Amino acid sequence: MTAAEPSHISSRDNPLLKELRKLAHDPGAYRRAGRVWLEGDHLCRAARERGVRAAIAVFSESAWPTARHEWAGAADKTVVVDDALLAGVSGLESPPAMGFVLDLSAPPPIAADAATVVLDRLQDAGNVGSILRSAAAFGFAQVIALKGTAALWSPKVLRAGMGAHFGLRLVEGAEPEALEALAVPCIATSSHHGEWLHRARLPHPCAWLMGHEGQGLSAALGARASLQVRIAQPGGEESLNVAAAAAICLHASAAAAEG
């Protein structure tokens, strides 16, 4: 079957639609399925621009006549779905008219010398996705999510990441001991002690350690840090949101590397 001859789905009980509903609503479903569902043309375009080929491209019946001119051949298989059925798959208030199914590769090994962000039990999917965006923007090519961190390929993290996933080396479900593979120095942030970030001599490449929203870094992980820094907060707030702190720290690293 060619890209110009998509298969059509008109039954709610179709096995693919059942799988897509699980992938769209269950944060851990991708781990069991070995593949992930990207909703909307922005994520699909971000994947394609990074050379990721979809296993299945899915379009609504009404969108396909126009979409075929841009997306023909973007996947191994193309499926066209009745509009109402595709809308029923989505977990969004305004369901998109297209999506990709991607086959996930096995998690890569840790790259010892890569500029890295380590996530220690972060719970909020929005924070995790935002940190992935900052990592990609500021040249941190590897993100290691320790066990207990929100699932990196879950729908909410994917949406918050806005395509950053496809430019990063993502290692998830790692035990703290796995960080022994890193050959770059680790840096931790603190609200109360350490050098001021804007005055610190930041090593590059390095690994920034970002901790749980409420509890911060575990003591064991904090002990791995060769440098602790704090962010100046003249406004007097007790602490910053972890995603905001990560963006500030990663930008500081990128600026120091350029200088």
Of 231, 233, 235, the C-alpha closest to 247 is 231
Task: Say which CATH architecture domain 7-103 belongs to.
Answer: 2-Layer Sandwich (3.30)
Q: Cis bond leading into 107, ω under 30°?
A: no
Angle value at C-alpha 33, between 148 and 178, nearest 5 degrees: 35
Please determine, for residue 35, whether its predicted confidence score (pLDDT) is greater than 90.
yes
pLDDT digits (tens, 9 = 90+) for 64-80: 999 999 999 999 999 99
Mean pLDDT of 35-44: 96
**Closest by alpha carbon to 155, among 58, 27, 18?**
27
Tokens of 256: 């120091």
- Region 199-222: mean pLDDT is 92
Mean pLDDT, all residues of the chain: 93
The pLDDT tens digits for 153-163 are 999 999 999 99
CA atoms of 37 and 44, how far apart (whole Å): 10
Q: Name which of 86, 98, 88, 54 is nearest 73 in CA terms.
A: 54
Given this model, what pLDDT does residue 238 score? 66
Share of the chain above pLDDT 90, in %: 84
Average pLDDT of span 94-121: 96
More confident residue, 242 or 1: 242
Residue 2 predicted with pLDDT over 50: no
Identify the CATH homologous superfamily for domain 116-258: SPOUT methyltransferase, trefoil knot domain (3.40.1280.10)
Mean pLDDT of 182-188: 97
Report yes or no on whether pTM surpasses 0.85.
yes
Mean pLDDT over 185-209 rounds to: 92
- Domain residue spans in the chain? 7-103, 116-258
Kindly state the tokens that stand for 117: 């962000």
Residue 1 has pLDDT above 50, yes or no: no
